[in-house]
Structure 1
Amino acid sequence: MLSIIGLLVILTIVVLLIRQKINPIVALVIVPFIGALIAGFGFEQITEFFNDGISSVLSVVIMFIFAILFFGVMQDAGLFNPLIGRMVKLSRGNVILVAIATVIIGAVAHLDGSGASTFLITIPPLLPLYRKLNMSPYLLVMLIGLSASIMNMVPWGGPLGRTAAVTGADPSELWQPLIPLQVVLIILLILVAALLGYLEKMRLKRGGQLVDALSASELEMGDDQDEDKQSLRRPKLLWLNLLLTLLVVGFLMWGALPAGMVFMLALSIALPLNYRSTELQMERIKEHAPNALMMAAIILAAGSFLGILSNTGMLDALAEDIVYILPAFMVPYLHYILGFFGAPFELILNTDAYYFALLPLVEEIVTGYGVDSIKAAYTMMIGNIIGTFISPFSPALWLAVGLAGIEMGRYIKYAFFWVWGFSLLALAAAFLMGII
């Protein structure tokens, strides 16, 4: 019964998000609450589930409230204009080259293994370039998400850490065979980005939106035509702002301080550095606060949703039942089957449910048929990890959606089959390389 209710709750939310029938906050709060009541849980228990879920995302909420404010101030000050201008110069306004560059930038930015910081570092500077070229922001988020998913195989990334916990293997030892795979997948993704860039170019050409040539000066003229925005630029502080941003990135990768505190400190330095007037500082905060607060509300709602589904046992029950309802002849190949559907599973199971509920069961079953436990774990992880950033359960993806100004439901619809297809390509590459 728990698994049925859990499945109905998850499918209802995913369908509502994809069809854009309801605000994400409403869907993430109301649907699981009703599901918990139907499952027989009382208000006191639901309160505990809620508190647990909220506490699990609170640090993320704090981080990106101040992160959005900080990067907003950096945008106001004009920090990203030279970077965007250089990218335009290198790409010569070529849509295909911009798509390829997005993959490379995403891979470098995700070296710290944090999806949230990756999107925070990459989307603000790249989004204006995409807008100038009339390219889809959905393509931007998908390419960064795919690139980050490949890099997420590092030992300090969540999926490999969870896999190590389940198998009892050392994370560094698990990672070593995956390094060549990561290199191959980045090369494959560059080729896929070139294809997607070509398709995007054809779309723009058909719609009469293709920009034939774009210079750095043309890019800088755009929003700077607005006198109010022009007055906020601080070109003389460019190097200080760049140094501050690099320090923020460095501290995020180092992990010596909580990410939320890093951005709190950075914002506290950036405001008086660029805008001496207290009144102007408050205006900058008020300008960017709506985006920050809206995304904070969505993440808190997602925390409530995850808290209820996890603590009621719905996710665990669903994971177990998925395994046991399969026909017997499929059981020896269960890891391949679940790896094949790893990306779609991101729409119905959160990461913890997949790795801590599903993976141990599958590993235990297939090892009885002579399958190596590590190879079984690799199969499930590689198939699933590519789909990390199409999951509505990913707080980092909600952040990316907010930064890019797009809709979650439309993004899932746009990216799903491309991401699933690339996950199958990753499994094929791992098979040919003897990893699985």
Structure 2
Amino acid sequence: MLSILGFSMIAVFMYLIMSKRLSALVAIMLVPIIFGVIGGFFTELGPMMQEGVEGIASTAIMILFAILYFGIMIDSGLFDPLISKILKIVKGDPLKIVVGTAILSMTVALDGDGTTTYIITVSALLPLYKRLGMNKIILATVAMLSMGVMNMTPWGGASAMAMASLNLDASELFLPMIPVMGFGLIWVLVVAFILGKGERKRLGVVEIQHGHTNSEANSELAATTVSRDYRRPKLVWFNFILTIVLMASLIIDFMSLTILFMIAFAIALLVNYPDLKDQQDRIAVHSKNALAVVSIVIAAGIFTGIMSGTKMIDAMAITLVSFIPESFGPFLPVIVAYASAPFTFFMSNNAFYFGVLPIIAQAADAYGISAAEIGRASLIGQPIHVLSPLVAAAHLLIGLVGTDFGDLQRFAVKWALGTVTVMTIAAIILGVI
């Protein structure tokens, strides 16, 4: 009964947001409450929701200050030199621009954080897309595809959760996946080439002039994010070093990500805008975007709290395993590779890796399949996971690009599924699964 209730709830939730009958923010709170009441958990929903919101609060705070920090970096002009360099390389060729989008987003995504990746990639390249009349959904799609592969790094979250839930170390789980990720990134470049070629055919190549006397492009880029009054060109090196130190600290993981972003934001704001009025202006400018993202992250706590508290997740996992025919047992890693895509789409990584994966690993043990192999397979669905409305960074990307969630999902899902397929085949050939 709980399993049916859980799958029905997810189906209704996805229908409502995909058909645009409800916003994701409203649906993610009301749908699980309604199904919780239907399931007879009315008196228990309060503590469940409270626990879910408390569990996600630290993440919401981290995202809030990450948005504010990188907003300050954008305002101060940290990325202006990078934008100029990209302009000189890609010029007005849509093909080069889309491939450049892939390379930039892959590089930035090394830190494993979707918020950082999307803010930097979009702020650097959206003006080019607008200038040439290119499809902005392509920008969002390529950035998401890159993030889907790079999210498999331990500091990206998925690998760390899998290692924790299965009691494995990086040498067992993550290191064998590095060449598989390489094939995934090659696929992202192929997709970027295909999409870029289509845009070049549609728009042609636009000549963009550069230089000190003809800097219209750079002026337009600067104007897209903030008035030049707030640029701090003399502080570019300070901001660059501060950002590098922040990224290194995130990877070293010697302090909470939330605290690191809070401290970095305070330093950046004080150094770049010592005047109190300027500080208030900069915070106000980015508060709308921050509120939109953080509100849905906190709302997602209700969804995950009810899913976990009612044991719907456990019931759904048991149902999934029971439907696997015994003859399919030896192929369980391949099944998990594909099943992890919809599972991590419909629920958080936390819910999947700590609630579902251990059950699947236990079932696989009966067929002589190691937990490490199941853990590696479970990472392959991440390119679909990043498209989930439960991923806060996805909503940030939507806001930055200015597109609709449903439109992006419909456009990107086939390419993301292609990434999953390519990495699955690579993993099989390389003996990783």
| TM-score normalized with structure 2 length | 0.89
SS of the aligned residue for 1:386 comes to helix
In 2, Cα distance between equivalents of 1:102 and 1:226? 18
Cα root mean square deviation, aligned: 2.7
Q: Distance in 2 between matches of 1:62 and 1:161?
A: 21
Contact 2:24 2:389 (C-alpha < 8 Å) held by counterparts: no
1:319 touches 1:353 (CA, 8 Å); kept in 2?
no
Residue correspondence of structure 1 range 17-96 to structure 2 within 5 A: 17-43=17-43, 45-96=44-95
Matched-pair contact (CA < 8 Å) for 2:153–2:159: yes
What is the aligned partner in structure 1 of residue 391 from structure 2?
394
Q: From 308, 312, 315, give the equivalent of 2:313.
A: 315
Preserved CA contact (<8 Å) 1:110 1:151: yes
Change (3 A) 1:80 1:226: closer
Distance 1:138 1:4, change over 3 A: same
| Cross-structure match for 1:248 | 246
1:333–1:366 CA contact under 8 A, matched in 2: no
For 1:184, give the aligned amino acid: F
What does residue 403 of structure 2 align with? 406
**Cα 1:65–1:370, aligned 2, differ >3 Å: closer, same or farther?**
closer
Which one-letter code corresponds to 1:11 in the other structure? Answer: A
For residue 256 of structure 2, what is the aligned residue in structure 1? 258
Give the Cα separation in 2 of the matches to 1:224 and 1:366.
Answer: 54
**Aligned-partner SS, 1:346:** helix
Q: Residue 7 of structure 2: SS of its match in structure 1?
A: helix
1:26-425 superposed matches below 5 A? 26-43=26-43, 45-202=44-201, 204-205=202-203, 212-216=206-210, 217-222=215-220, 229-382=227-380, 384-425=381-422
Which residue number in structure 2 is paired with residue 430 of structure 1? 427
Matched-pair contact (CA < 8 Å) for 1:85–1:215:
no
2: CA distance, partners of 1:156 / 1:274: 29
User: Any conservation in 2 of the 1:320–1:357 contact (CA below 8 Å)?
Assistant: no
| CA displacement 1:343-397 (0-9 Å, x = unmatched) | 2333334323433343333333344344455334433432x12322112222332
Give, in whole Å, the separation in 1 of the partners of 2:74 and 2:13: 34
1:102–1:144 Cα contact (<8 Å) kept = yes
8 Å Cα contact 1:316-1:353 kept in structure 2: no
Identity of aligned residues (%): 34
Could you tell me how far apart the structure 1 residues matched to 2:49 and 2:146 are?
A: 33
Question: How far apart are residue 228 of structure 1 and its match?
Answer: 8.1
- What amino acid maps onto 2:27 in structure 1? A
CA distance in 2 between partners of 1:388 and 1:67 (Å): 21
Confirm or deny: 8 A CA contact 2:269 2:279 kept in the other structure.
yes
Aligned partner of residue 21 in structure 2, secondary structure: coil
What whole-Å deviation, never above 9, does each CA across 1:311-345 have from its counterpart, x for those lacking one?
A: 11112211211221344544443432342343233
User: Contact 2:293–2:392 (CA<8 Å) still a contact in 1?
Assistant: no
Cα separation, 1, equivalents of 2:359 and 2:260 = 39
CA shift in 2, pair 1:240/1:46, >3 Å: same
How far is the alpha carbon of 1:223 from its aligned partner?
A: 5.6
Change (3 A) 1:394 1:260: same
Q: How do 1:4-23 and structure 2 match up within 5 A?
A: 4-23=4-23
Deviations 1:54-89 (A, max 9, x none): 122212221222222222233233332221111010
User: Measured at CA, do residues 9 and 74 of structure 1 come closer, stay the same or move farther in structure 2, by a change above 3 Å?
Assistant: same
The CA distance in 2 between the partners of 1:298 and 1:76, in whole Å, is 25
Number of matched pairs: 429
| Helix, strand or coil at the partner of 1:303 | helix
CA distance in 1, matches of 2:226, 2:352: 49
Question: For structure 1, which segment, 391-400 or 421-430, has the greater mean C-alpha deviation from structure 2 after superposition?
Answer: 391-400
Give structure 2 stretches of 5+ with no counterpart.
none
* Residues 260/125 of structure 1: CA separation in 2 closer, same or farther (3 Å cut): farther
> Contact between 1:392 and 1:398, CA under 8 Å: does it hold in 2?
yes
The alpha-carbon deviation at position 119 of structure 1 amounts to 3.0
Task: Map Cα deviations across residues 96-140 of structure 1 (whole Å, 9 max, x no partner).
Answer: 222222222233323333333333443333333333333333322
SS of 2:345's partner is coil
Moved more, 181-190 or 314-323: 181-190
- Structure 1 pair 341–213 and aligned structure 2 pair: CA distance change class (3 A): farther
Offset at 1:162? Answer: 3.2
The worse-fitting range, judged by mean Cα deviation, of 389-398 and 416-425 is 389-398
Write the distance in 1 (CA, Å) between the matches of 2:154 and 2:230.
42
Please tell me whether the aligned partners of residues 391 and 397 of structure 1 are also in contact (alpha carbons under 8 angstroms): yes
Q: SS of the residue aligned with 1:257?
A: coil
Structure 2 distance, partners of 1:351, 1:317, is 17
Q: Give the Å deviation of 1:297.
A: 1.0
Q: If the length of structure 1 is used for normalisation, what is the TM-score?
A: 0.88
Encode CA deviations 1:248-277: one digit per residue, 9 max, x unaligned.
333333333333333333332333433343
Q: Which residue of 2 aligns with 1:3?
A: 3
Secondary structure of the structure 2 residue equivalent to 1:390:
coil
1:386 and 1:419 in contact (8 A); partners too: yes
Amino acid at match of 1:428: I
Partner Cα separation in structure 1 for residue 421 and residue 51 of structure 2: 35
* Worse overlay, 96-105 or 10-19: 96-105
